[in-house]
Structure 1
Amino acid sequence: MSIHIIYKIAAVGILISILTQVLKHSGRDEQAFLVSLAGLILVLLWIVPYIYELFQTVEQMFAL
């Protein structure tokens, strides 16, 4: 796992938090929720391959 994924997650987090605050202050709470949900799904899609790789490594270590 490289450091670039951490930078990407941090950038998405900052961007999503700014967009959410702007949308909340303009009275669009539903859109703010959808933006934060989309950011969460995006980050989870980036993380899933690393989690799968972790489980594969653990399985190989213990020969399950």
Structure 2
Amino acid sequence: MDVDLIFRIAAIGIIVAVLNQLLIRSGREDQAMMTTIAGLIVVLMMIVKQIDLLFKSIKSIFGL
């Protein structure tokens, strides 16, 4: 796993947290929730790609 991936996930988390707070303070709770869910989906997609790469590496190591 690359350190760059950890920094990207942290940056997305910070951006989503700031947007969430701004939207809640402006009275747009529904949009704040959607922003949080969108950020979660983006991070999960990044992690799924890394897990796929891990399984491909394990498969090639053991010759399956």
Q: TM-score, normalization: structure 1?
A: 0.82
Structure 1 residue 55: Cα displacement: 3.8
Structure 1 runs, 4 residues or longer, greater than 4 Å off = 59-64
What are the ranges of 5 or more consecutive residues in structure 1 without an aligned counterpart?
none
Identity rate of aligned residues, in percent?
Answer: 44
How far apart in 1 are the matches of 2:53 and 2:10? 22
Say how many residue pairs are matched.
Answer: 63
How far apart in 2 are the matches of 1:19 and 1:40? 13
For 1:38, give the aligned amino acid: A
Structure 1 residue 50: Cα displacement: 1.4
Per-residue CA distance 1:29-49 (angstroms, 9 max, x = gap): 000000001000101111102
What are the ranges of 5 or more consecutive residues in structure 2 without an aligned counterpart?
none
| Paired position in structure 1 for 2:43 | 43
